[in-house]
């Protein structure tokens, strides 16, 4: 069984589609990249816990997460586009992304500055995360709650 077939079978199991059930798979799932499908599925499971009664929010969250991960992956593979900004984005996603995130919270990047990243938590609040770029990589400080985005500009 190929990786694509395995991904399709996983998606079918996830959404309860049984072989020969008469339920057709959307065409975009067959033509999409398998890694995007897997990322979308993981993000959808997370979104269901974050937005239990809002299918629109669940879908938007999963779509954005899958698109962002795919774009970051493509950018990271392109040597011409490999820059400090991409490395910072990857490091921030590694530390503060995922299901739980680092420092006890999950953040999504809103703005990037030379010495800090502004991120939005799942609680809807804005946080400022200082960082330092060193030879060993990027080190993040503790997230600090900010009341108004204009105050830290």
Residue 18 sits in the same domain as residue 77: yes
Residue 75 sits in the same domain as residue 115: no
The pLDDT value recorded for residue 22 is 43
Residue 74 sits in the same domain as residue 87: no
Does pTM surpass 0.85?
no
- The first and second tokens of residue 93, run together, are 């996603």
Give dist(CA 146, CA 152) in Å, integer. Answer: 8
The pLDDT value recorded for residue 130 is 92
Residue 77 sits in the same domain as residue 88: no
Structural domain count, the chain: 2
- The first and second tokens of residue 131, run together, are 């960082």
- Which domain range does residue 143 map to? 83-153
Residues of the chain with pLDDT below 70 are: 1, 3-4, 7-8, 11-32, 74-82, 98-104, 153
3-state DSSP assignment of residue 141: coil
Residue 74 sits in the same domain as residue 124: no
The pLDDT value recorded for residue 28 is 52
Asked if 40 and 66 count as a contact pair (C-beta separation under 8 A), the reply is yes
Residue 71 sits in the same domain as residue 10: yes
Beta carbons within 10 angstroms of residue 40's beta carbon: 23
Residue 69 sits in the same domain as residue 102: no
Closest CA to 106 of 49, 60, 52, 147: 49
The pLDDT value recorded for residue 113 is 86
């Amino acid at each position: 069984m190929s990786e694509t077939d395995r991904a399709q079978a996983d998606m079918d199991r996830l959404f309860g589609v049984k072989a020969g059930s008469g339920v057709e798979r959307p065409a975009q799932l067959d033509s999409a990249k398998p890694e995007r499908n897997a990322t979308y599925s993981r993000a959808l499971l997370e979104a269901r816990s974050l937005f239990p009664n809002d299918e629109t929010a669940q879908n938007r969250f999963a779509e954005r997460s899958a698109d962002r991960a795919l774009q970051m992956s493509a950018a990271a593979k392109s040597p011409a586009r490999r820059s400090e900004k991409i490395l910072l984005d990857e490091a921030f996603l590694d530390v503060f992304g995922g299901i739980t995130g680092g420092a006890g919270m999950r953040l999504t990047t809103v703005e990037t500055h030379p010495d800090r990243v502004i991120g939005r938590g799942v609680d809807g609040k804005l946080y400022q995360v200082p960082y330092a770029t060193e030879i060993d990589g990027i080190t993040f400080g503790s997230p600090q709650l900010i009341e108004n985005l204009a105050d830290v500009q």
